[in-house]
Structure 1
Amino acid sequence: MPDPLRKLGGKAVASSEEWEQGRREEVLRLFEERVFGAGPVGRPRRIAFEVKPTEGWMGGSAVRKQVRIRSEGPGGENVVRLLLFVPVSAKERPVPAFLLINNRGSEHMDAAREKRSPFWPAEAIVARGFAAAVFDNADADPDHHDGFRDGVHGVFDPPGERPGHAWGTIAAWAWAASRAMDYLETDHHIDASKAAVVGHSRGGKTALWAGAADRRFALVVSNNSGCTGAAVSRGKGGETIRQINDRFPHWFCENYKAYNDNEYALPVDQHMLIGLIAPRHVYVASATEDLWADPESEFLGLTFASPVYRLYGMDGIAGLPMPTAEQPLHTNGMGYHLRAGGHDMTEYDWQRFMDYAERFLCD
C-alpha cells in the first residue's frame, strides 16, 4: 500500500506543513494524471445563476429555489439545474447545506414534492435545519460513452485528439458540483463554509473527487462508492479496476486503463484520495450486502488515510475495529457506518450523515 506520507522521491512527510508544501499537490496531480483526468477549466469566465424562489413549501417550513447555472465555453453553453429547499429559519441566520450529486434520475428530486424518495429525503433534511440541494449529474454529462462530445466535454474540451489524462465523466460531474458551490457562495441564506457534498455509488466516487479537488466543501460524504471510490484497490473484493474500466470506459481518464489487472503498479490508492480531504471532514458509508463495493475495503480506505488526518491533530480511525451494522463510528475527522442491506442510500444513511454534521460541522 503506497504511503501517503512519503513523497515519490522517498522523503517522509512529518507535518501538516510538509503535506501542504508539496506532498498534497503531488498526490492530487497523480489522481488527475492516472485516474480521474484533468479538466481544461475550473470556474468559467462566463457563468451566470438564474434563481427562481417560491415560498410556502413543506407546510410553510421551506423556501424552494430553482437555479439554472449557465456556463459558456468555446463549444457553446451548459446548463446545470440546481434545486434547493431552504429552511425559513435561514432568513434569520444562514444554514449549512447538503448538496447531493444525483445519479439516479429526476424522479428522485421532484421539485413539486409529489414524489418523495428516501434517496433524497428533502423534508427530513430541512426538518433538521439544513438546506437540501441537489442536481442531476446528467445535466453536466450523460452517463454513457459518447466519445466525450456532449455535456461539458463538448463545451470546454480543446480541439484535437484527447490526451491520456483528459477528464472523464466522473471528473465532469465533480466539476458541476463545484459550480453548484459557486452558487451556494452567493446565496446569503446558505452558510457555504458548512456545505457538504454527498454521493452514492458512482456519485460517491464523484463526491470524493469533488471534495479532494475543491477545498470549499467542509464535509465529503461517500455512500457505497466501492472501486475507485472509498475502497482501496489493492486486495479488494468485488469490483476491480479492470471490471470498472470495461463496463464504464468513460468514467475515468484513458491512462487509468493501464492499471487493469495491475493495481499494484498504481502510484496511488484510494486512501490517498481520502487523505486529500484533510483537514476537512469525510464520511464513508457501506452496506452489509454490498459485496461488489466491498465494505471492508471501504473501511480500510479511511484507516489508511488516518495518518494524514493525524498530521492536523485530528482523530482518524486507524487502530479501531470495523463496526458492526447500525453502530456508527464518528471521530472529529472521520465518520463511518455499516448499514444492513444492499446497494442503496436510505433515510437511515441520511440521518447518520446529519448526526455527524450536527456534532462536528455545526458546533
Structure 2
Amino acid sequence: MKKFIILLIAVGFSQIVLSQEVKIDESKYTPLVTYTAQQDHANMMEQLGIIEVRPGPSGNENAPNHANYDESIANPCPELPDILTTKSGKAVTTADMWWNQRRPEIVEDIEREMYGCLPENIPDVTWIVEVTDYERIGFTPVIARKLVGHVDNSEYPLIDVNIDMMLVVPTNVKGPVPVLMMYGRPSFPAPAQPSQEDTKMINEALKKLLIKENPELKEVFEKFPVYDPFKWENPFSFGQRRTGDPSPTEQLIAAGWGYATINPSSIQADNGAGLTRGIIGLVNKGQPRKPDDWGSLRAWAWGAARGLDYMETDTLVDATKVGIEGVSRYGKAALVTLAFEPRFAMGLIGSSGKGGVTLHRRVFGEAVESLTGSGEYHWMAGNYLKYGAEKATFGRKTGCDIPVDSHQLLALCAPRLTFVSYGIPEQGDAKWLDQQGSYMATIAAGAAFKLLGAKDLGVSNDYMAEKMPPVLSGLLDGELAWRQHDGGHTDAPNYQYFIPWASKFLNYERIPVRRR
C-alpha cells in the first residue's frame, strides 16, 4: 500500500515538475542580489549616511534595556502635526481643500518618510480560479474559490510572484454580498466530500488496485468484508458541541457576508533578506531598495488591492462593500491598505501597535527603534531608518522628527468605516502595543472624519485630555470606531460588534433565498 501511494505521489510530482520546467537564459538579466537581512539593512544605512542606529527596547520589563511603561514620560513631543493645517499654514475648512490640498500633502510625506512609494512600473496581475468547491460552514452552503494572481514577470523572469487568495461566499442569501478580506493563510473551510455512493466506488476501485499490487490483500479484504479504506462522513452529522463564540469566519457567513483570505508572504516575504525578491524584488529586478522604495507593509497593501481587482469581476461580491482586516503586523498592513486604496469601504484594524495606529512620537512599549533594526525595518521605507539614527551625516533623529504621524494615516481612511480594535495586556495583548497611544491617534484623526461629514468617536479631539473608555465600552456610533475587548492578541471578540456596526453603515441586510 505504501508503495502504491508513493508511486502515485512520484508520478504526480514528476508531472508538476515537467509542466513547470521553463529554461531561462539568466545571462540576459541583471544578476539577482542575495543579501541577508543584516547585509541589506547595512546597505540601506550606507545609502542614508547612517553610522549607528539605536537598539530597540526589550519587551522584557526586567531587562536592562526594557521599554518605557511610565506614562509620565511617554510624550516627549506631545504636539502632533495638525491634520487640518496645510504646509503653508492655511486652515483646511472644506472637503475640497482636504481632497485637493491637504490630503495629497500628507500622502506625499507618509510615502516618502514611512511606508515608501509605489513604483510606476508594477507589472499586471492575471487572476486564475484554480478550484471552485461547494462546501458548508455549519449548515450554511458556501462557494469557495482558490485563486492565484500571477504577476507578469516577462521583464525579469528570475523572480516569480503568485498571489495566493481564497474567497468564500454564502449561497443562501441574496447577492452580491459584502466581503471582508483578511491577511492570513488561505485554506478551504470545509472541503466537500464524496457522496456515500461515490465513496463506495472509490473504495471498490482502491481495493482492486491494492490487490493487484499485493495479491495477499485479497484474503485480508475477504476476512474483513465490511472494512473500507475510506470512511464516508455524513456532512450533516453532529460532532462534539463546541463551546465559546463562533469563529470570525462563521460569524461573517452567518451574517450573510463573504470573506477572503490573502497570503502576505505570497506577495512579499516578511523579512529583510527577501527584499530583493517578491514583488519588491521583481520591480527592482533583483536589486536592493532605494530609500524611498516601498516596504513589505505597502507591498502587502498593493497585493490586497489586486485581490480587490478580482472581486470587482466576481458577480457574487459587492465590490463597493469590501473591507480589509488584520491583527498585529497584519493590523499595520490593514491600516496602510485602507489608507492608500480608496476602493476599500472599511477596515478592522487589530492590535496594530507601532507602524499601525499607535503614535510614532510616543515612547511607550514598542518604539521607532524597534522598527529601524534589522528585524523589522523591511516593513517600512528605507527612509524610516533615519528616525532611529544615533550617529549619521545628518545628525541624530528620533520619532519626534518625523513630519507625519499615525493620526494622519488614520485620517487618510476618512470618511470610510474604520474600526480600531485592541485587547488587554492581562490576556496577552501586551502593553508593548501602547493602547493609549493608539487611542490618542484615533481621537486626533476624528477631525478629518468630521470635516468630511462622517462621525468620529463622539468625544472631543483633544488627544491629550480624553481618557480611554473602560474595557468593553465601545465607541461605535460613528464611521470611526474604537473598542477594547477583554481578550488577548486577537480581534476575534470584536467581530460580534464589527459586523452589525459595518452592516448598519453599509445599509446591508441579509436576505435569505431558497435554492431549488
Please give the TM-score of this superposition, normalised by the length of structure 2: 0.65
| Number of the residue aligned with 1:259 | 387
Q: Which residue of 2 aligns with 1:95?
A: 177
Mark the CA change 1:343 to 1:337 in structure 2 (over 3 Å): closer, same or farther.
same
Distance 2:417 2:491 in 1: 20
Output the amino acid matched with 2:423: A
**Of residues 145, 155, 169 in structure 2, which corresponds to 1:65?**
145
State the 1:13 CA deviation.
0.9
CA distance in structure 2 between the partners assigned to 1:329 and 1:152 by the alignment: 38
Alignment of 1:92-241 (within 5 A): 92-102=174-184, 106=185, 109-113=186-190, 121-146=248-273, 148-157=275-284, 162-241=289-368
Secondary structure of the structure 2 residue equivalent to 1:349? helix
- Cα distance between partner residues in 1 of 2:361 and 2:281: 34
The aligned amino acid for 1:312 is L
Equivalent residue number for residue 470 of structure 2: 324
Whether contact under 8 Å (1:41, 1:156) holds in the other structure is no
Shift of the 42–180 alpha-carbon distance from structure 1 to 2, 3 Å rule, reads: farther
1:309 aligned to 449, 453, 457, which one? 449
Return the alpha-carbon distance in structure 1 between the equivalents of residues 127 and 255 of structure 2: 30
Give the superposition deviation at 1:79: 0.9
Are 2:364 and 1:249 equivalent residues in the alignment?
Answer: no
1:13 aligns with 2:153: no
Tell me the SS of whatever aligns to 1:277: coil
Deviations 1:138-187 (A, max 9, x none): 11111111151221112222575532100111111111111111111111
SS of 2:275's partner is coil
* Paired residues of 1:169 and 1:252 also in contact (CA < 8 A): yes
1:38 touches 1:166 (CA, 8 Å); kept in 2? yes
Gaps of 5+ in 2: 1-79, 192-241, 389-396, 461-465, 509-516
CA shift, 1:123, in A, is 2.1
Could you say if the C-alpha distance between residues 159 and 150 of structure 1 is closer, same or farther in structure 2, counting changes exceeding 3 Å? Answer: closer
The question of 1:279 aligning with 2:415 is answered yes
Alignment match, 2:480:
334
- Cα gap change, 1:60 to 1:330, in 2 (>3 Å): closer
Letter in 2 for 1:101: Y
* 1:286 and 1:298 in contact (8 A); partners too: no
| Structure 1 segments of 4+ aligned residues over 6 angstroms from their partners | none
SS of structure 2 residue aligned to 1:40: coil
* Alpha-carbon displacement from aligned partner over 1:38-64 (angstroms, at most 9, x marks no partner): 121487435333353221322452111
Deviation per CA, 1:311-342: give whole Å up to 9, x if none. Answer: 11221124265221122211322111101133
Q: Give 2:95's aligned amino acid.
A: S
Residue 170 of structure 1 contacts residue 205 of structure 1 at CA under 8 Å; is this kept in 2? yes
Greater strand fraction, Structure 1 or Structure 2: 1
Query: For the structure 1 residues 46 and 334, does the alpha-carbon distance in structure 2 shift closer, same or farther, using more than 3 Å as the test?
Result: closer
Q: Which AA in structure 1 matches 2:175?
A: R
Q: What is the root-mean-square deviation in Å for CA atoms of aligned residues?
A: 2.3
Number of corresponding residues: 355
Q: Which moved more, 1:78-87 or 1:142-151?
A: 142-151
Of 101, 108, 112, which residue of structure 2 is paired with 1:22? 101
Quick check: 55-64 or 12-21, which moved more? 55-64
State how far apart, in whole Å, the 2-side matches of 1:239 and 1:24 are: 28
Partners of 1:42 and 1:175 within 8 A in 2: no
**3-state secondary structure, aligned to 1:67:** strand
Per the normalisation by structure 1, the TM-score is 0.91
* SS at 1:146 equivalent: helix
The aligned runs of 1:46-65 (5 Å cut-off) are 46-58=125-137, 59-65=139-145
Query: What secondary structure does 2:111 align onto?
Result: helix
Partner of 1:341, secondary structure, is coil
* CA distance in structure 1 between the aligned counterparts of 2:107 and 2:359, rounded to whole angstroms: 16
Is residue 295 of structure 1 aligned with residue 435 of structure 2? yes
Write the distance in 1 (CA, Å) between the matches of 2:151 and 2:335: 23
Contact 1:78 1:140 in 2 (8 A): yes
Identical residues among aligned pairs (%): 27
- In structure 2, the CA distance between the partners of 1:221 and 1:250, relative to structure 1 (3 Å rule), is same
* 8 Å contact from structure 2 (residues 289, 382) kept in 1: no
| Bigger Cα Rg | 2
Task: Give 1:280 deviation, angstroms.
Answer: 0.9
**Looking at both structures, which has the greater relative contact order when contacts are Cα pairs under 8 Å and sequence separation is at least 6?**
2
Unaligned runs of 5+ in 1: none
Deviation at 1:262, TM superposition (A): 1.0
User: Within 1, Cα distance between the matches of 2:246 and 2:294?
Assistant: 28
Instruction: Map Cα deviations across residues 73-122 of structure 1 (whole Å, 9 max, x no partner).
Output: 433341111112101035x42000000012xxx3xx431548x9x99732
* Partner Cα separation in structure 1 for residue 328 and residue 447 of structure 2: 25
Distance change (3 Å), C-alpha of 1:86 and 1:272? same
